[in-house]
A and B are shown apart, each in its own frame.
Chain A
Amino acid sequence: MHFQFTPNEEAFRKEVRYYLEREIPKRWRELGFGLWEETDESWAITRDWNRKLGEKGWLAVAWPKEYGGQERPVMEQVVFNEEMTYQGAPTGVETMMTIGWVCPTIMIYGTEEQKQEYLRKAAKGEIVFCIGYSEPGAGSDLASLTTRAVADGDDYVINGQKIFTTMAHRADYCWLAARTDPDAPKHQGISMFIVPMNTPGVTVRPLTNILGFHSFNEVFFDDVRIPKENLVGEKNRGWYQLAIALNFERSGVAAPAGAKRMLEELVEYVKETRRNGEVLAKDPLVRHKLADLAVEIEVCRMLCYRIAGMQSKGLIPIHEASMGMLFGSELMRHLTTAGMQILGLHGLLNRGSKWAPLSGAIMRGHLASLSLGVGGGTSEIQRNIIATRGLGLPREPRV
């Protein structure tokens, strides 16, 4: 048992921190990356930033060198993710999905041509994927998806609709789950495809998120024709590939690292702010709320480190990863709820007003936190996994 990072890991952290402190302008923090605040400007910055990191081999630090990574151990990826989030670097959802989910799957199941085509470019920040999983009728019950891919000569023809497709309007490709065998049991008829977003028949319609930004979309596929070589892995085995392809870093340390930064900003705020003739930091309720959050952040950090520790040893965390996600999403809700309570009326103001504390970051974080217990598997689904996989409770009868 050891609760510190190694000198190597600390040295890498220092290197990353030094780089980020130099390269990230203060104004970027105001832009609030990662809070679903997608604009043309934030996209331009993110895209440039990704290419810059890609040049350094830092966009996918844990990937094999042949695909543009640095083959760094899981714990160094953890350190890297912590620093990126803590320093407020642009770490878009699309980058996380591309580097963390899609490409690792291609690495395992893709053909050599597919690997050559997509992995290097992704590691250089030249391409990003959006993920075509959720449909209007398939959310938590994802395996009931109905988007169809039908073989036709050398092609597949795709018809259907996806929803809540984050960054589809920016992505170069869609990583698409589609039904290839409608007669098989629902988990056994799904395949994975790579669909270029500029293919005729792909229509992207914006959805406006709760913060008022266009970050996700509906995506329609009308007789979209893609060559057969865009199928990834084995036909009809898509569901199982998805479940296995999670062996890259998935500790979720970004949540406690970002929370720590937000907590520090709140601590500064309450030390500087007077209310009813008294500094807020002297109010026992305020003190306890912030202390409570500090404790929760620390517990979260430990749960995330456990996941990374397991991965370092070649183990596959399943319910442990669900627990990390669940805890992290609840942490962000607790943190921003407490933050809103502490800021009071001022907390309702957004950036642009001189009266908005922390440029409205707590309020925007609070709105954004609603998505955390939903996207990528709801809190309920995570709890199901913890109960059935972690504790061996019998599965609920389902269709």
Chain B
Amino acid sequence: MDLGFSEEQEMLRTTARDFLDNECPKSLVKEMAEDEKGYTTELWKEMAELGWMGLTIPEEYDGMGMTFLDLVILLEEMGRACLPGPFFSTVVLGGYTILEAGSEEQKKELLPKISAGDLILTLALTEPSGSYEPDAITVKATPKNGEYVISGTKLFVPDANVADYLICVARTKEGASPEDGITLFLVDAKGPGITTTLLKTIAGDKQCEVVFEDVKVPKGNILGELDKGWGVVEKVLAKATVALCAQMVGGAQAALEMSVNYAKERVQFGRPIGSFQAIQHYCANMLTDVDGSKFITYEAAWKISEGLPATMEVSMAKAWVSEAYRRVTLLGHQIHGGIGFCMDHDMPLYFKRSKAAEPTFGDADFHREMVAKQLGL
């Protein structure tokens, strides 16, 4: 039992923090929330040069071959910096799906491009129902003339507006169970029949509606096995859920630090407000939530990294962190008072992100139900 990071991991964190402090100021974050694209090519390229896109891609595909736990450190720092852009979509949702399901040929074709920062991917999973359950997959892919034709609407597709490819989770068969008959397709995001509409979101993140109208996809673009795609989705969702927790943990840490610093500086009644017990106890509760969130996230990440079963831990992490991040940002706002309510301040960035992350990949209730099942209930 060792809850500390290695020296190399601490170095990765320091490098990431320094880089993001310099290259991703909050002014950029706020600008990108308003921007159509939501990221700058300069920053994207610099991140690729640091090897971040290929951090966990095996070396044979031009990646750095590091572990999922290492990626979690990086994501934590990205959450702290509120890094805008399609990193999560490309690396976690796209990259891991290809690693998990892609043929050798597909991996050789796509992974080096991801590593180089030359490819933006995303996963088109959820639909207007907003559900992460397999029975919610209704977008149809029908075989026709040796290819597949996809029709239907995907909703809450992150970064589809800038993606080169969408990995579309589609129904190819009405199977015996909802899981049966789901297939993953690699689809040219700018191809004919695809209409992508940017949605207005709470945190300025780029969520899209993607309408598929008779979109033709060659058979060779199937990722993994026909009709057996849901198993892949589950594995990718497990990683994505923990990856999101890591970002949330980083954000919560930042909100905590900002609030503690403010409590030390802000003077009322002739004393820093941080010397009042009410504020101290808010801060103590925030630190407890942040620390608890870290370890429950690291535990799940470590298990995934080691290839151990982690269903329980993944859901425990998301159930806990979803609510802890919310509590932390709420108390942070309370400590900041009126100034935190101003758009110019940084606190709203975190509050909005905590809200955006809560239902993503299943909210606390969804994951508590998963835990209940694991408990044998």
A interface with B by C-beta (< 8 Å)? 1-5, 9, 75, 78, 267, 270-271, 281, 284, 286-288, 290-292, 294-296, 298-299, 302-303, 305-306, 308-309, 319, 323, 326-327, 380, 382-384, 386-388, 390-397
Establish whether residues A302 and B3, one from each chain, have CB atoms under 8 Å apart when the complex forms. Answer: yes
Instruction: Say yes or no: A396-B275 contact (C-beta < 8 A), given A384-B280, A390-B284.
Output: yes
B interface with A by C-beta (< 8 Å)? 1-6, 9, 69, 260, 263-264, 271-272, 274-277, 279-281, 283-285, 287-288, 291-292, 295-296, 298-299, 302-303, 313, 316, 319-320, 365, 368-372, 375-377
Residues of A with C-beta under 8 A to B298: 1, 3
Expressed in whole angstroms, the minimum distance between the Cβ of A331 and any Cβ of chain B is: 11
13 A-B pairs with C-beta separation under 8 A: A1-B298, A5-B1, A291-B368, A292-B319, A292-B368, A295-B319, A298-B299, A309-B2, A309-B3, A326-B288, A327-B288, A393-B280, A396-B280
Expressed in whole angstroms, the minimum distance between the Cβ of A9 and any Cβ of chain B is: 8
Contact of B372 among A288, A302, A384, A386 (CB under 8 A): A288
Contact of B1 among A292, A295, A309 (CB under 8 A): A309
B67 nearest CB neighbor, chain A only: A1
Expressed in whole angstroms, the minimum distance between the Cβ of A72 and any Cβ of chain B is: 15
Establish whether residues B260 and A391, one from each chain, have CB atoms under 8 Å apart when the complex forms. Answer: yes
B292 nearest CB neighbor, chain A only: A299
Establish whether residues B295 and A295, one from each chain, have CB atoms under 8 Å apart when the complex forms. Answer: no
Residues of B with C-beta under 8 A to A395: 275
- Rounded to whole angstroms, the CA-CA distance of A390 and B288 in the bound complex is 10
Establish whether residues A393 and B377, one from each chain, have CB atoms under 8 Å apart when the complex forms. Answer: no
B316 nearest CB neighbor, chain A only: A295
Residues of A with C-beta under 8 A to B284: 323, 326, 382-384, 386-387, 390-391
Instruction: Say yes or no: A302-B292 contact (C-beta < 8 A), given A309-B1, A394-B272.
Output: yes
Expressed in whole angstroms, the minimum distance between the Cβ of A187 and any Cβ of chain B is: 20
Residues of B with C-beta under 8 A to A284: 369
Establish whether residues B372 and A3, one from each chain, have CB atoms under 8 Å apart when the complex forms. Answer: no
Contact of B264 among A78, A288, A327, A394 (CB under 8 A): A394
Residues of B with C-beta under 8 A to A305: 1, 3, 295
Instruction: Say yes or no: A299-B320 contact (C-beta < 8 A), given A1-B298, A271-B377.
Output: yes
Establish whether residues A295 and B371, one from each chain, have CB atoms under 8 Å apart when the complex forms. Answer: yes
Establish whether residues A294 and B316, one from each chain, have CB atoms under 8 Å apart when the complex forms. Answer: yes
Establish whether residues A291 and B275, one from each chain, have CB atoms under 8 Å apart when the complex forms. Answer: no
Establish whether residues A387 and B280, one from each chain, have CB atoms under 8 Å apart when the complex forms. Answer: yes
- Rounded to whole angstroms, the CA-CA distance of A104 and B78 in the bound complex is 45
Contact of B375 among A1, A267, A308, A392 (CB under 8 A): A267
B301 nearest CB neighbor, chain A only: A1
| Leading 7 A-B pairs by shortest Cβ distance | A302-B295, A387-B280, A386-B284, A383-B284, A291-B371, A287-B372, A291-B368
Contact of A393 among B1, B4, B260, B316 (CB under 8 A): B260
Expressed in whole angstroms, the minimum distance between the Cβ of A180 and any Cβ of chain B is: 31
Expressed in whole angstroms, the minimum distance between the Cβ of A140 and any Cβ of chain B is: 12
Establish whether residues A302 and B371, one from each chain, have CB atoms under 8 Å apart when the complex forms. Answer: no
Expressed in whole angstroms, the minimum distance between the Cβ of B100 and any Cβ of chain A is: 23
Establish whether residues B3 and A394, one from each chain, have CB atoms under 8 Å apart when the complex forms. Answer: no
Establish whether residues B377 and A287, one from each chain, have CB atoms under 8 Å apart when the complex forms. Answer: yes
The CB with the most chain B CB atoms within 10 A, among A9, A75, A327, A390, is that of A390
Residues of A with C-beta under 8 A to B302: 1-3
Establish whether residues B319 and A291, one from each chain, have CB atoms under 8 Å apart when the complex forms. Answer: yes
- Rounded to whole angstroms, the CA-CA distance of A271 and B376 in the bound complex is 9
Establish whether residues B375 and A391, one from each chain, have CB atoms under 8 Å apart when the complex forms. Answer: no
Establish whether residues A290 and B372, one from each chain, have CB atoms under 8 Å apart when the complex forms. Answer: yes
Contact of B4 among A290, A302, A309, A327 (CB under 8 A): A309
Residues of B with C-beta under 8 A to A388: 280
Contact of B371 among A5, A281, A294, A390 (CB under 8 A): A294
Establish whether residues A387 and B283, one from each chain, have CB atoms under 8 Å apart when the complex forms. Answer: yes
